[in-house]
Homo-oligomer: A and B are copies of this chain.
Amino acid sequence: MKDKTVPDSVIRRLPLYLRVLEELKAKGTEIVSSQQLEDRIGLKATQFRKDLTYFGEFGVRGVGYEVDDLLNRLKKICGLNEEKTAILIGAGHIGTALGNFNQVNNNCKVRIKAIFDKDEDKVGSTIGQIEIQHTDKLPQMIDELDPQIGIIAVPARAAHEITDILIENDMKVLLNFAPVHLDIPDDVYLQGVDLTLELQNLLYYSQNVVE
């Protein structure tokens, strides 16, 4: 099931499709056409159909897509049909937000099961229901929980060290919030979310107003 044939850009759109399909299902819509999806998603109908071709056939020509069926099949493809275990390193502002957010947001399927911080003062207190543990316990806890996903929310200077620990302990899927470029082996998937860059990017547009 390892499709390196499917482009990243396609993968990133799948959760978007799922979100809209969930909405339609909630409204009781049973059949939907790619054209109807176009407006709701803000993407071309053609793109939606093209994206689906990477995974098989999902619709009925002349009719459209059965919402519930499409939803279930796409969920499975995305891995959204079952919960995956994540650990969070760093209990600062962003880490805290993510931890709380994760407890609330039930349909996300990424379940944070442990939170770590280097600060002794934070160790022992909780975010959501989860007690913060010392970073020293990382290897031990990874072994215990066997988490699929590691979320890095430590300051930039600590990010390399933490990443090394995660990789040494065989973690393969990482989400990095630290504002640094991390070098990783080929068999690890790293996704970056850089809030500082997002904010800075706005500056350009606020001085060069769009068209």
- Provide the bound-state CA to CA distance between A162 and B39, in Å: 20
Cβ–Cβ contact B203 & A79, under 8 A: yes
A22 CB, min distance to chain B CBs, angstroms: 11
Contact residue among B11, B101, B187, B202 (Cβ-Cβ distance under 8 Å from A201)? B11
Cβ–Cβ contact B181 & A40, under 8 A: yes
Residues of B within 8 A of A36 (CB): none
Mark contacts of A63-95 with chain B using CB atoms, 8 A cut-off: 1 yes-contact digit, 0 otherwise: 000000000000001111000101000000110
**In the complex where A196-B105, A197-B16 touch, is A187 in contact with B202 (Cβ < 8 A)?**
no
Cβ–Cβ contact B201 & A12, under 8 A: yes
Number of interface residues of A (CB under 8 A): 63
Contact residue among B3, B14, B93, B201 (Cβ-Cβ distance under 8 Å from A191)? B201
Q: Which A152-188 residues sit within 8 Å CB-CB of chain B?
A: 172-173, 175, 179, 181, 183, 186-188
**In the complex where A196-B105, A200-B80 touch, is A148 in contact with B94 (Cβ < 8 A)?**
no
**In the complex where A197-B12, A199-B110, A203-B78 touch, is A208 in contact with B172 (Cβ < 8 A)?**
no
Residues of B within 8 A of A145 (CB): none
Does A210 belong to the interface (CB within 8 Å)?
yes
